[in-house]
Structure 1
Amino acid sequence: MGKLDEKVVIITGGAGGIGGGMAKAMVKEGAIVAIVDLNEEAGEAMAKELQEISPKSSFIQANLMDRDNLGNIVKTVAEKYGKIDVLVNNAHASKQVSIEETTQADLDLSFGTGFYATFYLMQAALPYLKETKGNVINFASGAGLAGHETQGVYAAAKEAIRGITRVAANEWGRFGINVNIIGPLANSQGVEAWAKAQPEYYEAVKNKIPLGRFGDVENDIGRVAVFLASEDSQYITGQTIMADGGSIMLR
């Protein structure tokens, strides 16, 4: 038996990167995973890979900027599987730009795919999570915690997500729902592309990580997600767990 046997999990941005790594880690622990992504081709490919282990897993093509459709994502999964145990709000698109040059469109993209999608999906999933005493896993970033340059719109949305996560942990604890955050640092496709484009800078950043490497999306970040989605973490809520090799040590 796996740690997540027959748990129904929604993962946004699940077609690749950290989302795909979490999906793979979870199906190997017995979960049924519904991945949500804008990229239909990548989503279908990931779904086929997941179905080799978890035949009931599936893909939903959706644009998280379409706020009116967010509730339908949750409803579709609940109707298909009869329940929802875990909501993972991983997807987030953003543009690197200085505060001085930030436009409303930049803010709309980051908050639309990040904070608003997270908020409205949590709201829509709440009735189902009450029934299962489920879990919510949201995502923070070192960009917000450290205030990295040119990451203003991304950092703002990520810190807003941290804020609503703590509020939800306080409000939803009475229902037996756990709400936590992962702050990852991993070799996603974006980081791999950056490593090829700027190998010296990549190595300099890697050398500052106490554990000396970037994380693996499945075996490092995915395993933390498995823990937070499982019964092993049921006395943990409202926490930001940094899965970043020790880069940021919260106090």
Structure 2
Amino acid sequence: MRRLAGRTALVTGGGQGVGRGIALALAAEGAAVVITGRTEGTLEDTARVIAERGGRVQTVVGDVGERTDVERMVAETVREFGGLDVLVNNAQSSVQRCLEQTSYDDVQLAYRSGPLAAFQAMRAALPHLMASRGSVVNLGSSAAVLGEAGFASYAMAKEAIRGLSRVAAREWGPYGIRVNIVCPAALSPAAQEYFAAHPEKAEQVVAGIPLGRMGDPETDIGRAVAALVSDDMAYLTGATLMLEGGRTLIG
């Protein structure tokens, strides 16, 4: 019996990168998966892979920066599969700039697609998560934990997500809902694009990872998330899991 058989998961930004890896891993453990995003083509590509592997999948095109879209994502998940057990808030848009060059619009973009989107999704999902005693995983970032230069608006948004998650873990624990944060370091398309533009940064980042490599979105990040939302981790909530090969080790 696969660990997530009979459960339903919603993954925002599930068409590519880390979100895709998480969706593939959840489906491999038996969950019915709904993946959302703004680009229909990437969603359909990921859905095809899940279906070819024998999984159950549905796609919902929408923008997590729009409250009505977020509410529709949750509603369509429940309508398609009859409930919601796992919510993964992965989608995030941002512009990487140093602090003095970061604009108010940059910050608005990061917050609207990050912590505000997660807030809306969690609020919309709450009645269904209460019914299932489900689990929420929100995506943070080691760049934010480290206060990495050049990531001002992104770091702000990701740390806001961690604050939101810890409050929700405390308030929703009595409902049996677990809320945890994952900070991944994975070779997603966004990371590949950034490293291609900043090759010296790529060398620096990998050199600072004790395990000597960036993570794989499915096997390193996705499978860890699948374990996190399973009954194997039923006593863990409010935690930040640093899935980044030891990059943020101190001392």
Q: Normalising by the residue count of structure 1, what TM-score does the alignment of the two structures yield?
A: 0.96
Describe how 1:87-236 pairs up with structure 2 within 5 A.
87-236=87-236
Contact kept? 1:65, 1:113, Cα under 8 Å: yes
Residue type of the partner of 2:83?
K
What's the offset of the Cα at 1:143? 1.8
Contact kept? 1:227, 1:233, Cα under 8 Å: yes
1:174-205 alpha-carbon deviations (Å, 9 max, x no partner):
01111000010011112223444444432232
Q: 1:198 to 1:154 in 2, by over 3 A?
A: closer
Contact kept? 2:178, 2:237, Cα under 8 Å: yes
Residue type of the partner of 2:124?
A
Contact kept? 1:129, 1:135, Cα under 8 Å: yes
Q: Which residue of 2 aligns with 1:16?
A: 16
RMSD over equivalenced CA pairs, Å: 1.5
Distance 1:150 1:199 in 2: 15
Q: Normalising by the residue count of structure 2, what TM-score does the alignment of the two structures yield?
A: 0.96
Contact kept? 2:31, 2:56, Cα under 8 Å: no
- 1:7 counterpart = 2:3: no
Distance 2:219 2:144 in 1: 24
1:69-113 alpha-carbon deviations (Å, 9 max, x no partner):
211211111111110000000010000122222222111110011
Q: Which residue of 1 aligns with 2:71?
A: 71
1:152-182 alpha-carbon deviations (Å, 9 max, x no partner):
1111111110001000000010011110000
SS of match in other structure, 2:98: coil
What's the offset of the Cα at 1:54? 4.0
SS of match in other structure, 1:33: strand
Distance 1:82 1:161 in 2: 28
Q: Which residue of 1 aligns with 2:59?
A: 59
SS of match in other structure, 2:99: coil
SS of match in other structure, 1:100: helix
Distance 1:250 1:187 in 2: 23
Q: Which moved more, 1:171-180 or 1:196-205?
A: 196-205
Residue type of the partner of 2:188?
S
Contact kept? 1:18, 1:221, Cα under 8 Å: yes
Contact kept? 1:32, 1:54, Cα under 8 Å: no
Q: How many residues align?
A: 251
1:112-133 alpha-carbon deviations (Å, 9 max, x no partner):
1101000010010000000000
1:2-42 alpha-carbon deviations (Å, 9 max, x no partner):
11112100000100100001111111111111001111111
Distance 1:162 1:194 in 2: 24
Contact kept? 1:51, 1:58, Cα under 8 Å: no
Distance 2:81 2:119 in 1: 22
Over the matched positions of the two proteins, sequence identity in percent amounts to 40
Residue type of the partner of 1:51?
A
Contact kept? 1:40, 1:61, Cα under 8 Å: yes
SS of match in other structure, 2:64: coil
Distance 1:126 1:75 in 2: 12
Q: Which residue of 2 aligns with 1:241?
A: 241
Structure 2 alignment gaps of length 5 or more: none
Describe how 1:41-60 pairs up with structure 2 within 5 A.
41-60=41-60
Structure 1 alignment gaps of length 5 or more: none
What's the offset of the Cα at 1:142? 1.4
Residue type of the partner of 2:127?
P
Q: Which moved more, 1:66-75 or 1:18-27?
A: 66-75
